[in-house]
Copies of this chain bind each other. A is one copy, B any other.
Amino acid sequence: MGFIYLTNIQLDKAREEYLKALIARGMQSQEEVIPVTDASNRITSKAIYARICAPHYNACAMDGIALDAKITFGASETTPVTLRPEQYKYVDTGDPLPEGCDAVVMIEDVIDSTNELPHHPKPRNRGSRTFRNDGGIETTQENGVKLYEAVAPWQHIRQIGEDICAGEMILPSYSNINPAALGAMIASGVTEVSVIKRPTVGFIPTGDEIVPPTSEPGEGEILEFNSVIYTAMLNEMGAMMKTYPIVKDNAKQICAATRTALSECDIVLIGAGSSAGREDHTASVIAEIGKIVYHGIAIKPGKPAILGHCGVKPLMGLPGYPVSGIIVIEQLLRPIIECLTHTTKQPDKLVEATLSKSVVSTLKYHEFVRVKMGYVNDELIVSPLGRGSGIVTSFMRADGILEVPQGVEGYESGTRVNVRLLKNEEELRQSLVIIGSHDPLIDELSDLMRIKYGDISISSSHVGSMGGLLAIKKGEAHIAGTHLLDEKTGEYNTSFIRKLIPDKKVKLIECVKRKQGLILAKENPKKITCAADLTQEGVRFVNRQKGSGTRILMDYLCRKDALDTSKIYGYDREEFTHTSVAALIAANSADAGLGVYSAAKMYGLDFVHICDEQFDLLVSDDAWALPMVQKLIEVLKSDEFRKRLEILGGYILDKPGVVRKGN
């Protein structure tokens, strides 16, 4: 099979037409009868009627005496009524109203006719209690009681049907069964309830390279984790998922697996192979077994989705990349689940916020950009997360989704955009935005903050020291990590702050000194000892992105030793974190890079120490007073933080948390 061209159907049209096609073919919700005790949060498939009244008998609502109200008429402070023992019966809350009685008097209002004291009946003789309205009292020993107030008929009685009357409708069709509804049903004698069946979604992962989860996958083996993500998503939507064994890139085998799934499930999803590559069989399989409605939707990620059906059953092809699959399920499968469960998702909240970085999109697709968000000076700031469809962490970290409609080229940095919130605003207000230089210690800080102050979370992005200073200048971050060396003075950060953000009040907080140096393959096979060695033939270097403090240091080292950087292979291969530099070296995709000792240690790599540099936290004065910032300072000063850094290694803590300089 060569390269067939996919269609590019507009999202709303695809969604609408697909659902229409399915309903036209007879797709509809199923029902099942289950015990009320299992019905929490289920949806009724028909109206539920009470079988008995609740209460189902006239019940005493107080501990006291039951009597016929008439006999108390006329009673008052001055003309009390004295009752003979046979004129009343002792009752407890919940007892049936005794024959011939139509009211209950609270025991507190009953006065002993002999001693004029509040009446204390003798404790009923335990165990022997029945409902014959003897109240368990040997009335023979009674001398009668006095009442100083007339009693209204039906007072302190829970009358039959006070809550629910037999025959009344408790819940109409298609209603969610909340906890109280469970109680109401049981109270009215309903023990079984007919509810909407949860649709079963079958998922078939495919691909020669796909293997089940393990900690030691071989090269070229891709771990199958989409099923776990999709299962969690579908459960939240009220569906159940059944994951089938992984199938190789083989049309026959995929066909067989699909037929099995179709025989066992209400909806079937085939994972991966939905595109038009040499090895993509999903489309042909769906075409063979059923019918394709659309192949190729104008969304990004998610374009190669296939919307088909077999009889009344939806049969979809999901792109292999997790992020694409998530979008397709969210945008195109959810409406089907909602139709089959008679539910509608509460729409995500849209908020207006300011974009911290430009987002370039293509006119061809409706794009879903995962974003982080945070309140800085009461301004909601949006930062796009990694957009690759393989970046599953982008969904894990997302606070919201920025949708760029088809036909829109994107948005400039600083634009006000509407973002669909995935978290509630309270959480966002509790999130401390740290943008700037990367260091593993920031993750440790964020963990310590969670442990000490549960509700605060740190939202950090690694854009390098320069980017951090800029973010502070533009009011897009509370704090920036920075380690910018001034070649002339040998001083860190201060001169850059003066230069870049002269007219903004900030505080520079001391954090740590950290060992910077060359991260090298284990046992340093290429015998690299200094920057100069990087120019050697066969040495593969990996660099940091421009604007990062480490890149500035690297450039400085080369200038200092008058090295021709064009002679350094991979000088333009840029990574954004110390860990990713170390990771590439550990995987033998590179031989050397500049980075902090802790990253080298993390991967058990060799390290040539070059300098100890000052890593500071820059805090804008507007943020300084925020409780969460002050709490961060506390954590910086804590022993726990010191201990964590000792474990990471390569840090010198002098006076973390003290203000080095304000301006």
Residues in chain A within 8 A of chain B (CB atoms) = 1-3, 36-37, 40-41, 47, 51-59, 61, 63, 92-96, 107-108, 118, 120-121, 123-124, 126-127, 129, 131, 153-154, 158-175, 178-184, 186-187, 189-191, 207-209, 213-220, 222-223, 225-226, 228-233, 235-236, 249-250, 277-279, 320, 322, 326, 342, 344, 346-347, 386, 388, 390-396, 398, 424, 426, 440, 443-444, 446-447, 449-451, 454-455, 457-458, 570, 572-573, 577, 579-580, 582-584, 586-587, 589, 602-603
- A36 neighbours in B (Cβ, 8 Å): 213, 228
- A587 neighbours in B (Cβ, 8 Å): 53, 56-58, 160-161
Partner of A278, one of B123, B158, B278, B347: B123
- A118 neighbours in B (Cβ, 8 Å): 3
Q: Which 8 A-B pairs have the closest CB atoms?
A: A180-B395, A131-B220, A186-B225, A179-B232, A169-B443, A161-B583, A40-B232, A180-B396
Query: Nearest residue in B to A158 (C-beta to C-beta)?
Result: B390
Evaluate contact between A165 and B579: CB separation under 8 angstroms.
Answer: yes
Q: List 13 A-B contacts (CB under 8 A).
A: A37-B228, A52-B217, A92-B279, A129-B208, A160-B584, A161-B587, A165-B577, A166-B586, A179-B228, A179-B230, A182-B225, A182-B229, A183-B322
Known: A166-B602, A443-B172. A158 touches B229 (CB 8 A): no
Evaluate contact between B174 and A393: CB separation under 8 angstroms.
Answer: no
Evaluate contact between B215 and A392: CB separation under 8 angstroms.
Answer: no
Known: A163-B393, A166-B603. A172 touches B220 (CB 8 A): no
Interface centre among A41, A191, A220, A347 (most CB of B within 10 A): A220
- A54 neighbours in B (Cβ, 8 Å): 392
Evaluate contact between B225 and A172: CB separation under 8 angstroms.
Answer: no
Interface centre among A54, A55, A180 (most CB of B within 10 A): A180
What CA separation (Å) do A281 and B128 show in the bound complex?
A: 17
Evaluate contact between A160 and B209: CB separation under 8 angstroms.
Answer: no
What CA separation (Å) do A63 and B207 show in the bound complex?
A: 14
Known: A57-B219, A63-B278, A171-B396. 4 other contacts (CB 8 A): A123-B278, A161-B584, A174-B450, A183-B228
Which applies to chain A's interface (DSSP): helix, strand, loop or mixed?
Answer: loop
- A342 neighbours in B (Cβ, 8 Å): 454
Evaluate contact between B2 and A229: CB separation under 8 angstroms.
Answer: no
Partner of A1, one of B123, B131, B589: B123
Query: Nearest residue in B to A160 (C-beta to C-beta)?
Result: B587
Evaluate contact between B392 and A180: CB separation under 8 angstroms.
Answer: yes
- A160 neighbours in B (Cβ, 8 Å): 580, 583-584, 587, 589
What CA separation (Å) do A213 and B450 show in the bound complex?
A: 44
What CA separation (Å) do A258 and B407 show in the bound complex?
A: 66
Known: A52-B217, A216-B189. A169 touches B447 (CB 8 A): yes
Evaluate contact between B186 and A228: CB separation under 8 angstroms.
Answer: yes
What CA separation (Å) do A580 and B57 show in the bound complex?
A: 12
Evaluate contact between A184 and B393: CB separation under 8 angstroms.
Answer: yes
What CA separation (Å) do A449 and B395 show in the bound complex?
A: 38
Evaluate contact between A326 and B392: CB separation under 8 angstroms.
Answer: no
What CA separation (Å) do A217 and B568 show in the bound complex?
A: 87
- A123 neighbours in B (Cβ, 8 Å): 1, 278
CB distance from A99 to the nearest CB of B (A): 11
- A214 neighbours in B (Cβ, 8 Å): 189, 191
CB distance from A163 to the nearest CB of B (A): 5
Query: Nearest residue in B to A181 (C-beta to C-beta)?
Result: B396
Interface centre among A167, A168, A589 (most CB of B within 10 A): A167
Known: A250-B127, A393-B164. A589 touches B58 (CB 8 A): yes
Evaluate contact between B178 and A191: CB separation under 8 angstroms.
Answer: no
What CA separation (Å) do A215 and B347 show in the bound complex?
A: 40
What CA separation (Å) do A56 and B230 show in the bound complex?
A: 22
Evaluate contact between B167 and A579: CB separation under 8 angstroms.
Answer: yes
Known: A63-B277, A182-B232, A450-B174. A424 touches B53 (CB 8 A): no
What CA separation (Å) do A123 and B573 show in the bound complex?
A: 34
What CA separation (Å) do A392 and B162 show in the bound complex?
A: 10
Evaluate contact between A393 and B180: CB separation under 8 angstroms.
Answer: yes
Evaluate contact between B219 and A131: CB separation under 8 angstroms.
Answer: yes
What CA separation (Å) do A235 and B467 show in the bound complex?
A: 45
Evaluate contact between A220 and B391: CB separation under 8 angstroms.
Answer: no
Partner of A108, one of B3, B178, B424, B570: B3
CB distance from A471 to the nearest CB of B (A): 21
What CA separation (Å) do A161 and B233 show in the bound complex?
A: 25
Query: Nearest residue in B to A166 (C-beta to C-beta)?
Result: B583
What CA separation (Å) do A59 and B221 show in the bound complex?
A: 10
- A347 neighbours in B (Cβ, 8 Å): 426
Evaluate contact between B40 and A326: CB separation under 8 angstroms.
Answer: no
- A326 neighbours in B (Cβ, 8 Å): 179-180
Evaluate contact between A168 and B589: CB separation under 8 angstroms.
Answer: no
Partner of A447, one of B47, B107, B181: B47
Evaluate contact between B447 and A153: CB separation under 8 angstroms.
Answer: no
Evaluate contact between B226 and A454: CB separation under 8 angstroms.
Answer: no
Evaluate contact between A162 and B589: CB separation under 8 angstroms.
Answer: no
Known: A153-B573, A169-B443. A92 touches B278 (CB 8 A): yes
Interface centre among A219, A398, A572 (most CB of B within 10 A): A219
Evaluate contact between B56 and A173: CB separation under 8 angstroms.
Answer: no
CB distance from A369 to the nearest CB of B (A): 15
Partner of A580, one of B165, B219, B580, B582: B165
Partner of A583, one of B53, B391, B447: B53
- A449 neighbours in B (Cβ, 8 Å): 172
Evaluate contact between B183 and A424: CB separation under 8 angstroms.
Answer: no
Query: Nearest residue in B to A422 (C-beta to C-beta)?
Result: B178
Partner of A451, one of B59, B174, B249, B584: B174
Evaluate contact between A217 and B153: CB separation under 8 angstroms.
Answer: no
Evaluate contact between B346 and A209: CB separation under 8 angstroms.
Answer: no
What CA separation (Å) do A573 and B37 show in the bound complex?
A: 36
Query: Nearest residue in B to A135 (C-beta to C-beta)?
Result: B278
What CA separation (Å) do A426 and B171 show in the bound complex?
A: 20
- A209 neighbours in B (Cβ, 8 Å): 94-95, 131
Evaluate contact between A573 and B228: CB separation under 8 angstroms.
Answer: no
